[in-house]
Structure formats: C-alpha cells, structure tokens
Structure 1
Amino acid sequence: MILDGWIAQRLGVSALTRGALLEWQRRTLREIVARASAASPFYARHLIGVDPSEPGTLPFMDLRPLAEDPLALLCVPQGAVARAATLETSGTRGSRKRLFFSDEDLEDTKSFFAAGMAHVPGSRTLIAMGGERPGSVGALLGEALGRIGRVGFAEGPVSDPSAVLGRIAALNADSLVGVPAEMLALARTPGAGLVGPLRSVLLSGDAASRPLVAAVEAAFGCPVFRHYGMAETGYGAAVECARREGMHIREADLLVEVVDGEGRGLDDGEWGEIVVTTLTRRALPLIRYRTGDEGRILPGPCRCGSVLRRLEVRGRLDDRLTLPTGTVRLGELDEALHALPWLLGFDAAAGRGPGGVLLRLTLYSVSSSELERGREAESAVLGIPAVRDAWRGGTLRLECAIHRRPDGLRPGKKRILPLEKFPSAPNGSCGTSWTASGETFWSFHLLKRSGER
C-alpha cells in the first residue's frame, strides 16, 4: 500500500477506498474538462458538446497538437510556466513535442516521487537519468529524495559503465535509479559484483524484460523495482510495491484506460494502448491522450492490500517489425537477447532490403568474443517463431554483429531504428567475417536462408 496513504491525504480522507477514489476522479474530470474548455483554444474546439460524466465518450488526442501548436493547449498565462520541455522521443518518430509545467505541477511530481521512493530500500541513491536542468526528471527525483531524508547523486545517462561503477563505489551509493538497458550494461560489466552491497535498483524510462530484471537482481544482489512514466504524465505514473506484481497507478492525478486499435475500452488483463488523462495538471492538461505505449491493467487487487489498480507495460506499439509470418515486438527481441549472459545491450534496425526485410542487430559485449557468441545470438533470435519462419521462408535476412567496446554503448531507450540511421559492419561488409582490432571485435555474418548454410 505504498501510495494509498499519500493519495488518502490528497483526497482528505482517513483511509483510501475505491469508492472515494472513483468519486474524486469523476469530480476532477468534470473540473479539468470545464477549465480546459474555457482556457485553451485547442480544447475549446476539441471538447465542444462533450459530456464529462461519460469519460468513454470524450474524444481522443495524440501527440500532434503538442508538436504543431502546443501553446494552444496552455491553460495558464505563459508567465505561470515554470518549466518548458521540448522532446524528440522515440514515440514521435522525429516530431518535437513541447510540454509546459507550472510550479504546482512540478510539486505534484516531487510529492509522488517521494511517496513512491519511500518504500524502495536505500539511503544514498545514484540517479542515472537526466538531471542537469531544474525541473528535469533527475532533478525532481533528487529533491524528492531529500524530503524523505535520503541523498541523491545526479549521474546522468550511462555511456561508460566501468566509470559509473567506480562512482557508485566512491559515493558509497546503496541504490540506483536508471533506464533498464543502461542498468543491464552496469550489471554485466566486470566489477559489478564488487559494488555494494546495494539495497535496490529502480528501473524507469523504458520497458524492462524479465531476463533483464533477473540479471540486474543477480549482479547486485538486491530487489529490482519498475516504474512507468513519461513527460506527458509529469514524469511519474505508476510504481511497483514490495510485492513487485505490477505497478500501482497514481490514480489521484491520472485516469488510465487501455483501448484497442479502434479506441474501444478493453477489459482488465487485455493488452492494448495506454490512454491517460491528467486530472490535476494546471499548465497543460492532457485529456484522453493516446500514449503509443502498449500495456494492460492487471486484474484483481494486489496482495499488498492497495485499492489502486496495477499497470503492466511492454513497450511502444510502433516498435515492431512486420513480417509475412507475423509481427515481432522489440520486447520479444529483449526477451530473447537479454537472456544471453554475456550481452551488455544491443541495437536493432530494420527496413526493406534485397529480397525482403532486413533486420540488422549489433550486440555489445565486454568479454572476449568468438564464433560461439555469434552462434548463441543466432540461436536466440531464431527462437522467436515469426523470425524463424520468415528466415526459413526466405522473406527475412538477418545480420548480426558483436561489438566489444565497453564505452561504446549509446545511452537511453532502445528502439528499432530505420536502417539508414544505423551503421553497417566495418567497410559495409557482409557475408561471414570475424575480425578483431583493439577494443573492437566484430563478428558480422549473414544468416542465410534455410538450405544455404
């Protein structure tokens, strides 16, 4: 019940009940629709004639207004904006969206961070997320930790895992917060087992596969918690409790739905697109915003006793590869490749190539590489049924490279990139070649069609 007490205090009740929470959401939804319609030129047009007592009838919105005319969504004077964030994210596919936050909005985020982190063990936390600017996620988390008597160290994104491990030891940090892919790189860098003992790791900013969570837990010998949030939700949306059976939603501030491709609401347990309404946002509220993230509401209550619904997220809806044999999600590549014990991380790119679809993978390892590494990677990727069937049918070419360079990781979220944005093998080679040079070991081979190997 990590958030229930905090939300009860927000609602002015002694103990949080589902009924009290639903009444709060109904009232705040009516208020935000009325305020947005009156204050925002965009919402004045977008919400004409709506009935806020029927949330499922309100029109959806997506990222386009945030990219095309964000000031038209603003519901406070520009002088009341405490932070403006311009983001070019994986979800926008190149569009730059702009978001605005008031002091009150940022205060709500810090309050949520403090409540959520209160149950995560640790007193000295290294924050491996962007925090160089006031109001950024790392800065807000650092302030929140101070409120609960803890110390936060702003590290920023991880690009050199060995150096970050050294700073963890030097700072005597006993907990970490970071992006899943970067925490995996830390966990599998030589020396990770000498750090600590750590008391917890919190993964945020991207979906985390089961093998990744298991690897981080094993390396650092501590529990791993997951958090879901994005700039549109005020950076925080849901966090796991000690049971770690789904992320409890920040339901006093967010109304979360899951819908299918046609916008129809789905039952608990069904996967679909996450839709959020920011019930208490002052500067730039979002009403039925289609996030582009895939998730589901877990059925039933959590064993911790909380009345809050729980969310499970498995990545971006558009991060997938469509093949004649089916669709392959980035999360499926994560599940297959993160299980390789020597893998630091990987990059993926896809596009049309000669004879069909080309999937290009670059895998990173700090250990010495040899032919066996390539075979293990090949076996892992071909364990995905749609990939295996397309490859056998000759409609998919798969290129794999293993890159040994400890400082070669690109920090941040992992996405399936267009081929033109992704480097090929050295000198553009293909076929089968295994070469080593200094700190870079390339094992680049083309997996041929069945019968041609």
Structure 2
Amino acid sequence: MAKEQTGQDATRLPHDQIEQIQLEGIKKTLVRCYENIPFYKKSFDDAGFDPYSFSDLSELSSAPFVTKQDLRDNYPYGMLAVPMSDVREIHMSSGTTGIATVGAYTNYDLDFWADCFARGIKFAGGGPDDIVQVAYGYGLFTGGLGAHYGAIHSGATVIPTSAGNTERQIRILRDMGSTILCCTPSYAMHIADTALEMGIDPAEEFHLRAGIHGAEPFSDNLRAELERKLNYKVLDIYGLTETGGPGVAVECLEQNGLHLAEDHFFAEIIDPSTGEVLPEGEWGELVITTVDREACPVVRYRTRDITRIIPGDCACGCTHRRIDRLHGRTDDMLIIRGVNVFPSQIEDVMKTFNQVSSWYQIEVDTDERSLDIVTLKAEVNPGFDIDSTGAIERLQRQISARMKTELSVGIKVRLVEPKSIQRSTGKAKRVIDKRRTIK
C-alpha cells in the first residue's frame, strides 16, 4: 500500500511538506538508479553528477536528461531497478515510431498509480456513489487499466467496456446510469455523435456528470462541444507510459490547469533548445523525475510536451502546482519552410470559424521543388451548404488567409462533409507527414 502521506489527503498538504517528500524520495531514487541501472551509472558518471551528495531539489538540474530513445535503447529490461520477481505488471508504448518503451510496476507502483487516477475522480466530485465507465483500451496501453484501478481505488463502481463497439457503449451509458466516462476526447465525441444518429439525445438520456479524457490534446472548442452534447464537465488528464501512465496530472472542476501529483512526480520546465530550467509561467518542455517509483524510475525524462507551470494557487484548495494544458510537442512540431508550427496553433485558428467542426487532419507533403505544402482537411458543421461552390471556396480562402496572418505560413484549406474524416476509438490521428516517407 502507498505510504499514508501519499494518499488523497496529500492534495492539501502545505507545499513545504510536499517539497520535503520530493527531496527524500528523489534522494533514494537517484541512488537506486545509480546502483541498479547501468545506463544511469554511466550517464551520471559521464556528467560528473554524484547521486550520493544530492541535498537540495535545485541540484537536480545538474543531472543529465533521459530521452525516449534512451529507454528504447535499453529495451526490454535495461531500465529495471528491481528484480523481476518484484514486478507485478508490465505495460508498453505502442512502438509505432520505433521500439516500444517498457513500463514495469511493483505492487507499490500499482497502488500509487491507482491513487493518482483516483484523485481525478475525486476532483470530478466522484466517489463511492459513482459508476465509472472506462472506454479507454485495455491491454499494453496504460489508459484502460489506469482508469480501472483508479475507479476501484476511489470506491466507485467500474464498468470496463474498453474501446470500441460504440452502440453498446451508448446503451450501457444510458441503461446502467454511468456518471463518469473515461476515454479519449475524440472517442467521447464519436460516442455523442453516434448516439444522436441513433435517435438518442445524450444530454437528456445519459446520466453523466463528468468525463476524464486524455491520451491526446484537445482544444477548448472541442471541450465546449463535448460538454454541450453530453451535458457534463470535461476534465483533462495527463500521463505517459514512460512515467507510469495517466495520473501524473489531472484537472479539477475549476478547469484551470492540471494538478501535478507532486508527491510522486517532480516537474521542471526547460527551454527545449538549451536545456535551461525556466521559471514558473514560461512555456517550455516538461521534464519529469519520478519521486518514488520502484520498478522503472526515471530521472529528468524529457517528455517533449510543451506546457508551463501556472503561477499561483487554485481555487479548489489543492496545494499541488498546476501545469497548463498542452500546447504541443517538440517532436510533433511542424517546420514549414523554416517556420515552427504546432497543430494546436492551427486548431486555435480553426475554432474562430463556427462553420467548421473539431474534426480535422493536417497533411504535410512536398512539391516538385521539394518545398513544403500543408493542407488542412476539416469537416464543416452540419447545416453548412457544402454543395454551394461559392460558399465553400469563400470560407476556405478566409480560413487560409487567417492562417497566413496568424502563423506566417501558407496553408491550403480543404473543407469536407461531416463524418468524412475517419473516427477512432483511441487517439485521433491529426498529422499525416508524407515528407518522412519520401526516399
């Protein structure tokens, strides 16, 4: 079981006590990594970093970074800090862009993972009287079981529907009285739209109070549309396989940033180009060190996610610092003719046009001169006369012109009919970069 101070009451601890928990935990983590994982011994030695002399959280900035590639290079068990006999569960990333990264868990790791996700359910106002429907995929992906363990830990009833079979999801949501839905935001939208097509008004016939949606970024526009269609509150949750899964940070009902589980994770924001640690309020790359993870601890893991530490306290009373909702990723950043563009920036421009829905894809290719060409394919909202050639061409030009003004890059816009972009039960595929496949 997790230590008493890392239970849900930890969300209200004075921050100096949280920092003391972090200091003591990271001291042990550094030594555990150095003595049990050859990668860290070499990495620390090469950087001249002495884990035994660590005495202040500020000194962590002297430790070297670890990257996803480092974890892949040590596949499958090279980053394990405990004997295999202590491992109770293993998850892996999809490995779609290379060798999978492995996340292993001891009993303690599983317990605090459940506690972290349970905080999200508590932030949503949930508890023993709730029914949590988990429509994340179960299996090697951490989403399904992370939400499952969290629901049980919170005292709620859990319905493990997993992803897919959308019509059955809808019947269960309606008939079983599910009050909290856990899935990707794009799949929640697919559930809402499918229900409406079935003649079911989810705002009236579902019983939802909250949705805990993660695994992919989503805009404020998509959040508002989900809340309108499903008549509930949408909370963002953050996590990744490399640090243990969903629950690293979760939004509360204030919807003003995600509270880090600071008794288990220490966060830094760095300049992605220089590695310099940035002060609160400045945007940069999120770097995470696990405070007390046993099986697969990480020290200064570069997440590639762009966010910031939000200054000040949250009105909800949680004392843990907040990160802002993700602005993009350093490795998903598109460099278009020398201009850095994040998909989220394109989405920000799109949401200023109420004729366009939240469903889109960005296609990047090159022309015969090897110059970059970006095409935004976006669905119009129902009711827009897409058969009116003049109207569709005019709207496409307007969106493209605003993209040019806001992003300083030319983007071709192609508007398509509602429901013509393929839906997914998992992460929505937003960017198709054909440049990477050109030989």
Instruction: Sort the TM-score into its range (normalised by shorter chain).
Output: 0.7 to 0.9
2:347 to 317, 334, 337: 334
Partner Cα separation in structure 2 for residue 98 and residue 418 of structure 1 = 26
Q: 1:444: which partner in 2? A: none
Q: 1:348: which partner in 2? A: 362
* Amino acid in the other structure paired with 2:49: V
1:136–1:62: structure 2 CA closer, same or farther, 3 Å change rule? closer
- Higher mean Cα deviation, 272-281 or 51-60? 51-60
Q: 2:309: which partner in 1? A: 297
Q: 1:47: which partner in 2? A: 44
Q: 2:146: which partner in 1? A: 140
TM-score (norm 1): 0.80
Deviation at residue 331 of structure 1 after TM alignment:
0.5
Partner Cα separation in structure 2 for residue 380 and residue 212 of structure 1 = 18
1:25–1:242: structure 2 CA closer, same or farther, 3 Å change rule? same
Tell me if structure 2 keeps the 8 A contact 1:348–1:362.
yes
Q: 1:309: which partner in 2? A: 321
The unaligned stretches of length 5 or more in structure 2 are none
Partner Cα separation in structure 1 for residue 356 and residue 183 of structure 2 = 20
Deviation at residue 106 of structure 1 after TM alignment:
1.4
Cα-to-partner distance string for 1:331-366 (whole Å, 9 max, x where unaligned): 112223356466252222213223532223333468
Deviation at residue 109 of structure 1 after TM alignment:
0.4
Tell me if structure 2 keeps the 8 A contact 1:325–1:386.
no
Partner Cα separation in structure 2 for residue 375 and residue 28 of structure 1 = 59
Secondary structure, aligned partner of 1:390: coil
1:196 equivalent to 2:206? Answer yes
Q: 1:409: which partner in 2? A: 423
TM-score (norm 2): 0.83
Deviation at residue 272 of structure 1 after TM alignment:
0.4
Deviation at residue 404 of structure 1 after TM alignment:
4.5
Q: 2:131: which partner in 1? A: 124
Q: 1:98: which partner in 2? A: 102
Partner Cα separation in structure 1 for residue 233 and residue 49 of structure 2 = 46
Q: 2:16: which partner in 1? A: 19
Partner Cα separation in structure 2 for residue 330 and residue 263 of structure 1 = 23
1:380 to 384, 388, 399: 399
Q: Percent identity?
A: 22
The unaligned stretches of length 5 or more in structure 1 are 1-5, 423-453
Cα-to-partner distance string for 1:228-281 (whole Å, 9 max, x where unaligned): 111122112111122221111100110100000210011111110000001111
- Residue-pair matches, total: 408
Secondary structure, aligned partner of 1:292: strand
Please give the residue correspondences for 1:59-98 in structure 2 after superposition, counting only pairs within 5 Å. 59-70=64-75, 71-88=77-94, 93-98=97-102
1:205–1:113: structure 2 CA closer, same or farther, 3 Å change rule? same
Cα-to-partner distance string for 1:11-54 (whole Å, 9 max, x where unaligned): 99997211111122112111111111111111121122414331
Q: 1:184: which partner in 2? A: 189
Tell me if structure 2 keeps the 8 A contact 1:346–1:361.
yes
* Amino acid in the other structure paired with 1:250: A
* Amino acid in the other structure paired with 2:344: G
Secondary structure, aligned partner of 2:327: strand
Secondary structure, aligned partner of 1:237: strand
1:387–1:7: structure 2 CA closer, same or farther, 3 Å change rule? farther
* Amino acid in the other structure paired with 2:24: R
Q: 1:429: which partner in 2? A: none
1:183–1:375: structure 2 CA closer, same or farther, 3 Å change rule? farther
- Higher mean Cα deviation, 379-388 or 56-65? 379-388
Partner Cα separation in structure 2 for residue 264 and residue 256 of structure 1 = 14
Q: 1:174: which partner in 2? A: 179
Partner Cα separation in structure 2 for residue 42 and residue 265 of structure 1 = 23
Secondary structure, aligned partner of 1:72: coil
1:231 equivalent to 2:241? Answer yes
Secondary structure, aligned partner of 2:78: helix
Partner Cα separation in structure 2 for residue 14 and residue 203 of structure 1 = 21
2:232 to 222, 241, 248: 222
Partner Cα separation in structure 1 for residue 11 and residue 217 of structure 2 = 35
Partner Cα separation in structure 1 for residue 125 and residue 66 of structure 2 = 38
* Amino acid in the other structure paired with 1:323: I
Q: 1:279: which partner in 2? A: 291
1:288 to 284, 300, 311: 300
Secondary structure, aligned partner of 1:303: coil
1:245 equivalent to 2:256? Answer yes
Deviation at residue 405 of structure 1 after TM alignment:
4.1
1:262 to 274, 293, 304: 274
Deviation at residue 212 of structure 1 after TM alignment:
1.1
1:405–1:219: structure 2 CA closer, same or farther, 3 Å change rule? closer
Cα-to-partner distance string for 1:100-145 (whole Å, 9 max, x where unaligned): 2222211110121223312314512222211246x94312322331
1:211–1:317: structure 2 CA closer, same or farther, 3 Å change rule? same
Partner Cα separation in structure 2 for residue 288 and residue 142 of structure 1 = 28
Deviation at residue 147 of structure 1 after TM alignment:
3.4
Cα-to-partner distance string for 1:308-342 (whole Å, 9 max, x where unaligned): 11101223222232234732211112223356466
Partner Cα separation in structure 2 for residue 334 and residue 44 of structure 1 = 43
Tell me if structure 1 keeps the 8 A contact 2:209–2:233.
yes
Cα-to-partner distance string for 1:193-238 (whole Å, 9 max, x where unaligned): 4442421122211222111111112222222211111112211211
* Amino acid in the other structure paired with 2:228: A
